[in-house]
Amino acid sequence: MAITASMVKELRERTGVGMMECKGALTETGGDMEKAVDLLRAKGMAKADKKAGRTAAEGTIAIVMSSDKKRAAIVEANCETDFVGKSDEFNEFANAAAQAALDSNATDIDSLLAAKMADGKTVDERRRELIAKIGENMSIRRFEIIETTGTIGTYRHGDKIGVLVNLEGGDEAFGKDLAMHVAASRPLAIDASGVDAETIERERAIAQTKADESGKPANIVEKMVEGAIRKFMEEVTLLSQPFVKDPDITVGNLLKKNNVTVKQFVRLEVGEGIVKETVDFAAEVAATAAAMQGK
């Protein structure tokens, strides 16, 4: 597979590694971007995927809550440009869609699109009207509804990140603090039992490669791998993370101190996981010119 300048540029942006190293990694992995990221991480060149979770599409996160504050809906609404994503009309649509989700008890995107808004139109009808008026494609990508007998903490960071936290115990202010922590620290799960096996195995493979290259005895290598996995789990599980407002205490200890239990959390970030195709015209022109000179 031909390794293009745009591929090298993307890998460099994701890892912060030099262009030649990125090109070598892509060549070694046959152009597989994810494998190239892992290879550079395993070699110690890239400590993390800098592009993980980076916004790859525009839009907003909308959150609405029931009057008794026992139910809440969070919705990711997408559009093509940041200009439209910040517009009042698009944000009104996103908030109305979140309210429709809450009122209708929608269970999937299809049922949400079919749900009626306050004006009597369905979410999909209003979406199509906006597309025709503004000229950009728009969608409702995902949503979640949380119900509780306790407290729901909410937090929006700008219009791009939104969090709901379902708590047993605690008050609204405590819930907001915890939701703010989730927004900032990006936990994958409440505790180790919630981290999927595929994620753990991917990290284990990277740790194994690094440990093998150390040249140390097998028993030491095994301990190095297990230590790396323990550290990873501490970093990505909510209860093990240092609390953002007081790093001297873990979230788990904070909850215990306040007699609070986290039952569930939802964190949505606009464009997370979406691959948005970008065209590097300067690189394409340079590559074309070089090819023409070679003829």
Domain match, 111 and 138 both = yes
Please check whether residue 233 lies inside any domain of the structure: no
Q: Given this model, what pLDDT does residue 150 score? A: 96
Domain match, 17 and 62 both = no
Please check whether residue 192 lies inside any domain of the structure: no
Identify the domain boundary among 147, 179, 211: 147
The candidate with the shortest Cα–Cα distance to 264, out of 107, 147, 162, 143, is: 147
Domain match, 136 and 67 both = yes
φ, ψ of residue 157 to 5 degrees: the values are -100, 105
Number of other CB atoms surrounding residue 272 within 10 Å = 19
Domain match, 14 and 89 both = no
Give the structural domain span for 102. 57-147
φ, ψ of residue 62 to 5 degrees: the values are -115, 140
Identify the domain boundary among 90, 113, 147: 147
Please check whether residue 211 lies inside any domain of the structure: no
Mean pLDDT over residues 94-117, rounded? 95
Domain match, 1 and 79 both = no
pLDDT at 248 over 90: yes
Q: For the segment 127-186, what is each residue's pLDDT rounded down to a tens digit?
A: 989 988 888 888 999 999 999 999 999 999 999 999 999 999 999 999 999 999 999 999
Please check whether residue 263 lies inside any domain of the structure: no
The identity of residue 210, as a single letter, is K
The candidate with the shortest Cα–Cα distance to 250, out of 172, 168, 190, is: 190
Domain match, 30 and 111 both = no
Please check whether residue 35 lies inside any domain of the structure: yes
Domain match, 87 and 22 both = no
Give the CATH number, domain containing residue 135. Answer: 3.30.479.20
Polymer length in residues for the chain: 295
Percentage above 90 pLDDT, the chain: 64
Give the CATH number, domain containing residue 48. Answer: 1.10.8.10
Identify the domain boundary among 147, 163, 197: 147
Domain match, 140 and 65 both = yes
Domain match, 44 and 64 both = no
Please check whether residue 223 lies inside any domain of the structure: no
- Split at pLDDT 50, 70, 90, the class of 276 is low
pLDDT at 193 over 70: yes
Domain match, 6 and 40 both = yes
Domain match, 131 and 82 both = yes
Number of folded domains that form the chain: 2
Whole-angstrom CA distances from 214 to 57, 64, 231 are: 40, 52, 18
Q: Given this model, what pLDDT does residue 251 score? A: 98
Please check whether residue 108 lies inside any domain of the structure: yes
Q: Given this model, what pLDDT does residue 254 score? A: 97
Domain match, 17 and 73 both = no
Q: Given this model, what pLDDT does residue 96 score? A: 97
- Split at pLDDT 50, 70, 90, the class of 290 is low
pLDDT at 47 over 80: no
Please check whether residue 44 lies inside any domain of the structure: yes
